[in-house]
Amino acid sequence: MLRTLLVFIAGVLLGANLVYFSMHRVPRQAREPQVAAAPTTSMAPAPDAAVVATGPVADDADGAPRASQTGTPVPPAAGPTGLLLPVAGVRAEQLVDTYTDARSEGRVHDAIDIMAPRGTPVLAASDGVVAKLFASERGGLTIYEFDPTSTWVYYYAHLDRYADGLAEKQSLHRGEVIGYVGSTGNASPDAPHLHFEVSRLGPEKRWWQATPANPYPLLGGKPR
């Protein structure tokens, strides 16, 4: 009888322990820290701001250090308005339309050449900002100017020298002296001139990738 009672009591205690353990047992997934799975969506690296700011160094037609020009040339009616002829003392009727003239290695002249004596002041064709000052193998001393809306870029090449104090990021006013006519780069020393380009910027605002427009009619040149 005593033995039966002891067995009964032991069974009750064992059952109670089992019930207590099952009620207080912590699940494995709650005890172990969970590591979130890495996202599977890949993201392209952010563009290098330094590359965007300076761009590649590669000359094109008659001096423009540009990796490539993009898009169909801008028709005159869609070009900027109110441009000042950027060489002091030169009149619109004296301009010669050299846009699309052939150049060496199958290149095309996406600009006009404005002939003038060495040292003639070069003027900002529009209000804007100096986006880049650059010494190019073909273009010599050059200036890239963005207009106030960063829609258009104006390129001045073969300068003899810059205006005193000219610097990148400097604001420019239409008619301000920014440099002087010369023949640096691949221009003939006997034929100093300003190589002047007008191009429409893309959404990235890269001065070395833009769509050219013929400056001749934009500066008042007339068909002959």
For position 119, which CATH number holds? 2.70.70.10
The count of domains in the chain is: 1
Q: Does residue 148 form part of some domain?
A: yes
Is there a domain that residue 29 lies in? no
- 117, pLDDT greater than 70: yes
63: β partners: none
Domain range enclosing 190: 57-218
In a domain, 32, yes or no: no
Q: Is residue 17 part of a domain?
A: no
pTM greater than 0.75: no
Q: Determine, yes or no, domain membership for 26.
A: no
Confidence of residue 21 (pLDDT cuts 50, 70, 90): very low
Token couple for 138:
């073909």
Q: Give the Å distances, CA to CA, from 206 to 65, 141, 200, 210.
A: 12, 19, 10, 7
Least confident span in 32-41, 65-74, 89-98, 111-120:
32-41
pLDDT number for residue 160: 98
Q: Find, among 110, 131, 116, 133, the residue nearest to 194 by Cα.
A: 116
In a domain, 34, yes or no: no
Query: Which residue would you say has higher pLDDT here, 3 or 170?
Result: 170
Q: Where is pLDDT greater, at 51 or 12?
A: 12
Q: Does residue 22 lie in a domain region?
A: no
98 or 145: whose pLDDT is higher?
145
Break the chain down into helix, strand, coil percent, rounded to 5.
20, 25, 50
Residue 212 and residue 202: Cα distance in Å, rounded? 11
Cα–Cα distance for residue pair 162/132, rounded to 1 Å: 12
Alpha helices in 95-224 (DSSP H): 215-218
Contact, 173 vs 163, CB < 8 A?
Answer: no
| Residue 68 included in any domain | yes
